[in-house]
Each structure stands twice: as C-alpha cells, then as structure tokens.
Amino acid sequence: MSTAILALEDGTVFEGRSFGAPAERAGEVVFNTALTGYQEVFTDPSYSGQIVILTNPQIGNYGTSRDDNESLRPYIEGLVVREFSAVASNWRSDTVAGEFLNAGGVPIVSDLDTRALVRHLRSRGVMRGVLSAVESDAQKLVEKARSIPTMAGLDLASLVSTREPYEWTAPVEPCSPSQRIGKPAEIRYHVVAYDFGIKHNILRRLVQAGCRVTVVPSLTSAEDVLALAPDGVFLSNGPGDPEPLVAQVANIRKLIGRKPVFGICLGHQLLGLAVGGKTYKLKFGHRGANHPVRNELTQKVEITSHNHGFAVDPDSLNANDVEITHWNLNDHTLEGFRHRRHPAFCVQYHPEAAPGPHDSHYLFDEFTKLMRESQPGAGK
C-alpha cells in the first residue's frame, strides 16, 4: 500500500496509507463528526473546495449505493480517515467506497491520528491544505497549501450550480421495507429552486411535501424566476463564502414580498444578506449530525445536521424586519429567522438530512403553508 501525505499551511504534516485515486488535491481542511452518512458527505456540493476529515474511526464499512448520492458525483477534494475499509458489508451497496472515490478522482489518506488532527484544527481553526498520493516531499506540499486561495471571499456556488434549468419530480424513496415515509402529498405548488449546490434529498422532500420543482442556475434573474409563475422560491445550500454572491443576493432581494421564500444553509446566509445583514467566517464551522437547535417559537430542541463554515451575524439584522426563530445551543450562533412582514424564512441547518430523525421536517410543511396562504383568494 502506497503512502499519502496531508500538509497544512502552518507546516503541520500527517502521513498515512493511500486509498482512492492516486492524485493530489488542495482545499480547506475541515472535519465532520457524524457517525454515519459518509456517502452523503462525499456527494454534497457544499463540500466543494474542501478536504474532509471524518472523525468516526471506521469509514467505508457499508460501501456506497447510487440511491444515496446527494448529487451526480463526489465533490470533496480529498478524504482523511483513521481507518478505511477496502470492503463493504451492506445489502444495498453497489460499489465499495474506495472505488467510488477513485472513479471521482478523490484521494484518501488513512491510518493517521485524526484525533490529533481535529484537535489541532479546533485550536488553530480550519486552514488550507494539500492531500497528495503522488508527492513525497512534504515541504513542497506545505508551500502549495500556502499558495491556494482562502475560503473567505471565494465564490464556489456559481461553479457547482446547474448550467440549465430542469424539473425534479421524484419523491422520497424508502431505503428498506421497514422505513416509514408516508404517501407523498398531492402536487399543488410550483417551486422554483435556486441551485447554489442543491442536494437531491432537498428536492425529494419538496416533492414529498406536494411541490413540483423547477431547478434553475444560481444567476437566474428574479424576472426570469417570476416568469415561471412559481408559488414559492427555494434557496439551496452550497459551498463557499456568501458575501461574493452580490448578483444572487440582489435577485433574492427583488423576490422578497413577491413570492414566499424558504432558504437552507447558504440560502439562509444569502437571505440574511438580502435583508441587510452581514455574515462572518466561523473558526472551524459546524459539520455533523447531532447539533442541538432550539426553536424559539415552540421552545422545542431539534437534533440537526450541519455543514457550514459561515454564519449570519444576528446583531446585523434589523429587529423591526426580522424575527429570530432558531438558536444553536452549542455556541449560540444564529440558526434561523423569518421576515416580520413578508412570507420569507430560513434555517442554517439541514432539515432534509433528518438525524433527529424527523425533528425538522415540519419546515417543508411551513413552506407549503406559506404558499397556500399567499395564493389569490386564500384569505377569503
């Protein structure tokens, strides 16, 4: 088994065994603390530009299944794990995880001390790095890490967005006969979803809630969105810094008050910018599947899935325009808000990922409720 090296911009170097593609990739080095769901991490476009450390000691055990992909291909730049399984034990698996990432050109480094690495990043903050299975000179890799762009100021959403509009009609499908999902609601609403890096399961959840979904590129104008006659507009998750997305924010601002708006993750941040707020970069972000979030409207705590490195500054929001609806109980960062006068709301976390497992599905019903109440004659 060949060697792979992870080199960080501060000069720290970790060496381990190479799996996956015999390649070299660079990006921001981040960590995710979820125990399961590694395939969803691999294929989430929000991880574009990032090398991901998974803290669960064993990764790859249950292989991969095409039905679990969140997009058409892996988007992570590289994978760092304590122990990687070269075999899969799962009746649903159609490809072992190493082959899946190898086909996507993603290098893997295993057999290194992920606990020490994560502690280092928690202390110093996430940083740029290079993961290489082809270069043995660690100092060269450190210099490469220092030369790549930082995540702050980087527009990645425009790169991962669809180039052409398309329709999505597939509802949620059970993973096994024992999984109870329920019958999809009757299709009553047309939603235009901005693709900033949208996940398939978000689209499935919208259909499950009774929506016909048209997915459009991230730079689609507000006028073109309105020309599609939607009942509501959805703002998706995505990678990178929200502040460079000036054109996207301007389009969202034009849509507020015209159609009901629902945003998730990057969509939450963009809606925050559209109502006059500001965003900032977190020290090491929120990436995991057990983050407690309190709904201020119900006082219930939801166990939620997170994947973001930026947050909306609550002090930058105008309290006359915006009502805070959700707080993160780990660090008291803003997790959700709604507009006081217009049908627009958003959350920072991922309700479609369902680690609770169903704690946050109500948000999709809230969206359909807003669309129903906004239809002509709804108040009569």
Structure tokens at 261: 């708006």
Query: Do the Cβ atoms of 47 and 75 come closer than 8 Å?
Result: yes
Query: Rounded to 5 degrees, what are φ and ψ at 155?
Result: -90, 105
Query: Do the Cβ atoms of 51 and 30 come closer than 8 Å?
Result: yes
Contacts of 287 (CB under 8 A, 6+ apart): 30, 31, 32, 33, 34, 52, 306, 307, 308
Q: How far apart are CA 35 and CA 148, in angstroms?
A: 30
Q: How far apart are CA 225 and CA 248, in angstroms?
A: 12
Query: Do the Cβ atoms of 353 and 40 come closer than 8 Å?
Result: yes
Give bridge partners of residue 233 from the DSSP assignment.
192, 261
Q: Is 339 a catalytic residue?
A: no
Query: Do the Cβ atoms of 325 and 346 come closer than 8 Å?
Result: no
Q: How far apart are CA 174 and CA 156, in angstroms?
A: 32
**Active site residue: 9, 70, 243, 352, which one?**
352
Query: Do the Cβ atoms of 196 and 267 come closer than 8 Å?
Result: yes
Helix (H, G, I), strand (E, B) or coil at 206: helix
Helix (H, G, I), strand (E, B) or coil at 208: helix
| Count, residues in the chain | 380
Comparing CA positions, the residue from 247, 186, 187 lying closest to residue 222 is 247
Give bridge partners of residue 73 from the DSSP assignment.
none
**Active site residue: 268, 291, 342, 350, which one?**
350
Q: Is 352 a catalytic residue?
A: yes
Q: How far apart are CA 22 and CA 133, in angstroms?
A: 5
**Active site residue: 265, 302, 339, 346, which one?**
265
Q: How far apart are CA 181 and CA 161, in angstroms?
A: 29
Long-range contacts of 297-300 (CB under 8 A, 24+ apart): 297/325, 300/359
Contacts of 357 (CB under 8 A, 6+ apart): none
Residues belonging to the active site: 265, 350, 352
